[in-house]
Structure 1
Amino acid sequence: MYLPRAFAEEDLPTLHQLIGETRLATLVTYGERGLQANHLPLLFAPDQGPYGTLYGHLARANPQWQELASGAEALLIFQGAEAYVSPSLYPSKAEHGKVVPTWNYVSVHAYGVAEVFHDPQRIREVVSALTNQHEAGRVSPWKFEDAPAEFMDSMLRAIVGFALPIQRLEGKRKLSQNRTAADIAGVRDGLAASADPHDQSISQLMRQEQP
């Protein structure tokens, strides 16, 4: 992605944190069918490999898994907080008027070559771990055993699993770092006053960046 130096995020724990907090990632591949993109929940193992390893699954009927199996590089996009920035939030607007709208956001791109697997037990482990991860906060968590075994076996046969060791990570924290201190404060405080939770999330990140 386009990554001006002012917005580059290179701290590995920070990149890992955003990956872990993103509930639905975007998988992008390119092959004989052209560009393909799908939205997937993923398991993240940060200690596997230099940048971590991602696990997920795709429907067997989804041709994207064949692009993964071909050995081509894949891209996984983890989109964090984002907010529109109005020029009216900049104090410098009143001084010279030379300001334009923009967007503040946080994003991580993970690149790698995936291993596709069909082993039922390995797929079950991935799906079970994903289920436990997302059911953990519920009063009555759903479990594999809640559904008939034959039904679950048929569901598992309809998907393929993949593991993607991350070979390259790019992180971007665009939080008005290229503006003056006054403009940064104007954006931070203006977004904090908004009723939109997206705006408030970016304001909080800006406050962490420059209290």
Structure 2
Amino acid sequence: MYIPTHFRDDDIENIRATIRCARLATLVTATLDGPLATPLPLFLDESEGEHGTLYGHLAKGNPQWRTAPIGEALAIFTGAEAYVTPSWYPSKRQAEHVVPTWNYIAVHAHGPIEFFDDPTRLLEVVTRLTNIHETSRATPWAVSDAPADFVAAQLREIVGVRIPITMVEGKRKMSQNRPAPDRIGIATGLAASKLPRDQEVAALILVQD
């Protein structure tokens, strides 16, 4: 990922927060047949390895797990993002040399990928993933709520994914390269949007000051 110095985010807590909040990641592997990519939820086990380890699962019918990867896998996580119009730049009144851009947060996690079909390990992954996304509900659903034989049958239709992270890159592009008046103008414009994601970016821009 191309990361200019002023957009680089090496704060491990920021990176982990992006991974936790992303909900859906994109898993990419390079193969002799070309790149393969799958959108899927992944969770980070922060206690396993220097940079943590990612876990998730694929459908058994997905060819990505059957196709030998070349080198390490890449998991892409994205956070808050918003379009930025140059109309919000006060500097536009002094110079017309301005263009639109996009503000966003992204994390790229690299590591060797392991696929597995052991039912005990799969059950642990599915249970942990379910608990992560159910915990905020008033009445959380649990894997154990389903009949054991049904769960066992479902596990036979998936393949586990494990990626020990060897390198992680964080990018937080929040108009840090613009002068303060422009950042305030962008934040004000986004804050007036009806889209919650725009409002989220507005708050993040102001944090940079």
User: What interval of TM-score do these two structures reach, taking the shorter chain for normalisation?
Assistant: over 0.9
Unmatched runs of 5 consecutive residues or more in structure 1: none
1:163-201 residue CA offsets vs partner (Å, 9 max, x unmatched):
111111111111111111111111111111211111111
Distance 1:132 1:71 in 2: 33
Whether contact under 8 Å (1:54, 1:164) holds in the other structure is yes
Distance apart, 1:71 and its partner CA? 6.5
Following the alignment from structure 1 to structure 2, what is the Cα–Cα distance between the partners of residues 94 and 66? Answer: 57
What pairs up with 1:107-118 in 2 under 5 angstroms? 107-118=106-117
Q: After superposing the two structures, state which structure 1 stretch, 174-183 or 70-79, moved more.
A: 70-79
**Could you tell me the percent identity over the aligned residues?**
52
**3-state DSSP class of the match of 1:34?**
coil
Q: Partners in 2 of 1:195 and 1:86 — Cα distance?
A: 16
Could you tell me which amino acid in structure 2 is paired with residue 60 of structure 1?
Answer: K
The equivalent of 1:129 in structure 2 is 128
Residue type at the aligned position of 2:199: Q
Q: How many residues align?
A: 209
- 1:24 maps to which residue? 24
Distance across 1 between alignment mates of 2:84 and 2:69: 41
Corresponding residue for residue 81 of structure 1 = 80
TM-score of the pair, normalised by structure 2: 0.95
- Check the 8 A contact 1:71/1:114 in 2, yes or no: no
- How far does residue 70 in structure 1 lie from its aligned partner after superposition? 4.5
Distance 2:95 2:24 in 1: 42
- Structure 1 ranges of 4+ moved more than 4 A: none
Instruction: Please state whether the residue corresponding to 1:206 is helix, strand or coil.
Output: helix
Q: Map of 1:69-108 to 2, 5 A cutoff?
A: 70=69, 72-108=71-107
Pairwise CA distance, 1:88 = 0.2
Structure 2 residue identity aligned to 1:102 = T
Rate the CA distance shift 1:118–1:71 in 2: closer, same or farther, 3 A: farther
Give the distance between the partners of 2:114 and 2:144, measured in 1 at CA: 28
